[in-house]
Structure 1
Amino acid sequence: MQPWSAPLSGRFDEVVFESTVLKDNPLHDPYQRPLWIYLPPGYDQDPERRYPTVYMIQGLTGQLDMWRNRSPFRKNFPELTDELFAKKEAPPCIVVWVDCWTSYGGSQFVDSPGTGKYHTYLCDEIVPWIDAHYRTLAARDHRGIAGKSSGGYGAMITPMLRPDLWGGLATHAGDALFETCYLPDFRNSIRTIQDRYEGSYEKFWQSFRSRVAFTQSGDEGPMNDWCMAACYSADPDGTVRLPYDLETGALIPEVWERWLAWDPVRMAPKYAESLRSMKAIYIDAGNRDQYFLDLGAKAFYKTLKQLGVNDVYLELFDGTHSSIEYRYPISLKYLAERLTP
């Protein structure tokens, strides 16, 4: 294969969306956000045809233009998407790439006083705008959402919270079963904050923002813990509450329970009716995932089956959490087939 971009069979519209709900967000992050809309081959030739939509959301630290990053000897996901539809291996869809980055690394696609209203941004601003400006099949049975890692998390919870909008989901190694994916790393974060930053997250962020990001080992854990706390356990005034004591490492039960309330495995029974109404649920993870998100994938799948969810697919493949963009066309095909009339 050639190691550079080639002309696409479909096309991308790249716009800047000005959000109302992200204005005055607590982190003062940009409220003008890039938005990519992929239109499949044939979209411009048949002005009467309407299409299902699949929304793609990113993992922690993901910024929209990172979708075009390339691993050696591989096509990137936008290219793989175009190839999927150009070869007619799946029914054509409009694919929408949405940016929900924050200066803490991400938003988990929830509304939080610690980060901003990213759930509302996605559901109540982006979706209606896309339906108004493109020839979509503007009904929940023809709209899906997909992502990896924190994006996979967002893909799991967003349809639970808004079943009126979403008829299908695909999660690649999405954050789930929090006691296995988050809790074991708390101790490393605590040691890093104690040893390097005098027990102060404020000093961690001062250091992090004063240098090239991730130039010190151990940056990832504290950033992840703080970002998750900002999403799951911020007070109404925006104060971020960590789920552990920074001096001893002991869990703070009332804060940890706030995190667990956002665990997709624990959320599922509450939203069983919403999940049973989905036309498609795709779950996968690498069997050597560094964050043990394969366990979360299995736990989420098992819970869905116990709840009587019928159209749900699970695959554990040989791989890790890294460089799994080649898996995304598989779930895109799965969604496209089930969201197409």
Structure 2
Amino acid sequence: MLPWSTELAGRIEDGIVHSELLRDNPLGDPHDRPVYVYLPPGYDDSDRRYPVVYVIQGYTGHVGMWFNRTPFRRPFPELADDVFRAGDTPPAIVVYVDAWTAYGGSQFLDSPATGRYHSYLCDEVVPWVDARYRTLADRAHRAIMGKSSGGYGAMITPMLRPDLFAALATHAGDALFEVCYPDSFPLIARTLRDEYDGDYANFLAGRAGRVHGTKDSDDGLIEIYGYAAAYSGNADASVSLPFDDTGAIITDVWARWLSRDPVRMAAEPEYAEALRSLTAVWIDSGRSDDYYLDLGATAFRRAIDKAGVADDRVYFELFDGRHGGIEYRYPLSLAWLCARIAS
């Protein structure tokens, strides 16, 4: 496995989306956002139009990280290129979207505490791509995929905007919130007590003056706060935590989180109807996922079955693996989606 990049059969263009929806967002994050657009082999040689797959990232992911290279592994843009190089998969445009925030992520939701990242994706990125590239610009030829928080975004975005997306792939996406999140609440409460006098404001202020990760607790603290900013952000841009200083659940705030759970959303009539309209749903997870998202994947599979999504439109698998190191699964879902949105 070569430790450097190889020549692609297709090509990648990088652009900037000048987002009005993210302008003056509560965190002061940039409203000009990078976007990478993969054009498949043959794009420049014809007037053909192509289906589009939007790729979104997990928590603390930003778009440039798709090109990170680890030992004995290849980054997804190269693996995706291989999908089309052989010519066995219908070609597609692949769009890598950035939704980073100062808290490490947005969950691809509109939140008064972070910004309008769902609307940015749907109402700015999608039209930007359609205006600049030869896309098949309708929902039947548009899919979204991601892993972890990106898998979460891939589940909820077609439910919220079935007019835009007809297919999805979720790899170990956040789901079944009562299983995947609460185990961390007592640890966070204890860490806040012991290191920050029980106050998240002290953590955020201290973190601003040093390099993130110089304290062992940084990642866990910012992750839960980022989720809370997405799921239970308030109109004044404040953030409500779903647990108290003992780690016990605060019922009304937790209910706001649960209302965003893809498993529970699938049971709502409006979202169930949106799910039934999808032509392809890929769900997978490592069966030893560190956050029990294999159980979330199973619950989501059952939820969409109950919602009435036809079995022949669904691929479900639990494979041997954990939460990390599963990028080799993405080309499988990409090829599967492309075969179903191509015509």
Report the alpha carbon displacement of residue 134 of structure 1 after superposing the two structures with TM: 0.5
> Is the CA contact (8 Å cut-off) linking 1:26 and 1:113 kept in structure 2?
yes
The corresponding residue for 1:150 is 149
The corresponding residue for 2:340 is 338
> Is the CA contact (8 Å cut-off) linking 1:71 and 1:323 kept in structure 2?
no
**C-alpha distance in structure 1 between counterparts of 2:21 and 2:205, whole Å:** 28
**C-alpha distance in structure 2 between counterparts of 1:49 and 1:244, whole Å:** 53
The corresponding residue for 1:185 is 184
The corresponding residue for 1:211 is 210
Alignment pair present for 1:111 and 2:110: yes
Aligned pairs for 1:267-278 (under 5 A) are: 267-270=265-268, 271-278=271-278
The corresponding residue for 1:302 is 302
The corresponding residue for 2:284 is 284
Report the alpha carbon displacement of residue 209 of structure 1 after superposing the two structures with TM: 2.5
**C-alpha distance in structure 2 between counterparts of 1:268 and 1:330, whole Å:** 25
The corresponding residue for 2:327 is 325
**C-alpha distance in structure 1 between counterparts of 2:9 and 2:224, whole Å:** 42
**C-alpha distance in structure 1 between counterparts of 2:91 and 2:233, whole Å:** 41
Report the alpha carbon displacement of residue 130 of structure 1 after superposing the two structures with TM: 0.7
Aligned pairs for 1:137-176 (under 5 A) are: 137-176=136-175
Spell out, residue by residue over 1:56-83, the C-alpha distance to the aligned partner (whole angstroms, 9 max, x if none).
Answer: 0011111111001112112110000111
Spell out, residue by residue over 1:179-227, the C-alpha distance to the aligned partner (whole angstroms, 9 max, x if none).
Answer: 1111111111111111111111011112223222122222222212211
**C-alpha distance in structure 2 between counterparts of 1:143 and 1:318, whole Å:** 30
Equivalent residue of 1:265, what SS? helix
Spell out, residue by residue over 1:244-301, the C-alpha distance to the aligned partner (whole angstroms, 9 max, x if none).
Answer: 112x222110100000000000000211111011010001111111111101000000
The corresponding residue for 2:42 is 42
**C-alpha distance in structure 2 between counterparts of 1:39 and 1:249, whole Å:** 48
Equivalent residue of 1:269, what SS? coil
The unaligned stretches of length 5 or more in structure 2 are: none
1:264 aligns with one of 262, 265, 284: 262
**C-alpha distance in structure 2 between counterparts of 1:188 and 1:306, whole Å:** 35
Partner amino acid for 2:323? H
**C-alpha distance in structure 2 between counterparts of 1:250 and 1:172, whole Å:** 30
> Is the CA contact (8 Å cut-off) linking 2:275 and 2:309 kept in structure 1?
yes
Report the alpha carbon displacement of residue 339 of structure 1 after superposing the two structures with TM: 0.4
**C-alpha distance in structure 2 between counterparts of 1:255 and 1:315, whole Å:** 33
Equivalent residue of 2:146, what SS? strand
The corresponding residue for 1:250 is 248
Alignment pair present for 1:199 and 2:201: no
Equivalent residue of 1:91, what SS? coil
Partner amino acid for 1:324? I
**C-alpha distance in structure 1 between counterparts of 2:321 and 2:206, whole Å:** 34
Aligned pairs for 1:204-243 (under 5 A) are: 204-243=203-242
**C-alpha distance in structure 1 between counterparts of 2:160 and 2:295, whole Å:** 23
**C-alpha distance in structure 2 between counterparts of 1:39 and 1:309, whole Å:** 31
> Is the CA contact (8 Å cut-off) linking 1:285 and 1:317 kept in structure 2?
yes
Equivalent residue of 1:315, what SS? strand
The corresponding residue for 2:318 is 316
The corresponding residue for 1:12 is 12
> Is the CA contact (8 Å cut-off) linking 1:186 and 1:221 kept in structure 2?
no
Report the alpha carbon displacement of residue 306 of structure 1 after superposing the two structures with TM: 1.6
Aligned pairs for 1:12-161 (under 5 A) are: 12-46=12-46, 48-161=47-160
**C-alpha distance in structure 2 between counterparts of 1:178 and 1:82, whole Å:** 34
**C-alpha distance in structure 1 between counterparts of 2:316 and 2:210, whole Å:** 41
**C-alpha distance in structure 1 between counterparts of 2:297 and 2:213, whole Å:** 28
Give the superposed CA RMSD.
0.9
The unaligned stretches of length 5 or more in structure 1 are: none
**C-alpha distance in structure 1 between counterparts of 2:280 and 2:156, whole Å:** 14
Equivalent residue of 2:193, what SS? helix
Report the alpha carbon displacement of residue 157 of structure 1 after superposing the two structures with TM: 0.2
Equivalent residue of 1:241, what SS? coil
TM-score, normalised to structure 1, is: 0.98
Q: How many residues align?
A: 339
